[in-house]
Amino acid sequence: MESKAICVLAMVVALALSTLAQGRDESCTVAPRERANCGYSGITPAVCKAKGCCFDNTVSGVPWCFRPMSTNKAPEEEECLF
């Protein structure tokens, strides 16, 4: 019985990780002209991704290290309720 529980837990963890990875890839689908710079000239893919950003060097003339779609826009100001 214990081995079944471990197997089910492993499957749930694998499914959760694959779902997170899939969402990450979709959030990095940003039109080149809409990319918000998240790095600096010469940044490596590993350093860029460690900052929580996306890296794509296939288009020249635009940022290669850029914010994911979900954080690409400036935060909206909250209305004061006082």
What per-residue confidence (pLDDT) applies to 81? Answer: 66
| Residue 43 counted as domain residue | yes
Domain CATH number, residue 51:
4.10.110.10
Instruction: Tell me the whole-structure pTM to 2 decimals.
Output: 0.56
What per-residue confidence (pLDDT) applies to 18? Answer: 45
Q: 66, 73, 31, 23: which is closest to 48 by C-alpha? A: 66
| Residue 81 counted as domain residue | no
pLDDT higher than 70, residue 77: no
Q: Can you list the positions of beta strands (E) in 4-81?
A: 54-55, 65-66
How many Å apart are CA 48 and CA 66, to the nearest integer?
8
| Residue 79 counted as domain residue | no
What per-residue confidence (pLDDT) applies to 82? Answer: 59
Q: What is the pLDDT of residues 28-65, one digit of tens each?
A: 999 999 999 999 999 999 999 999 999 999 999 999 99
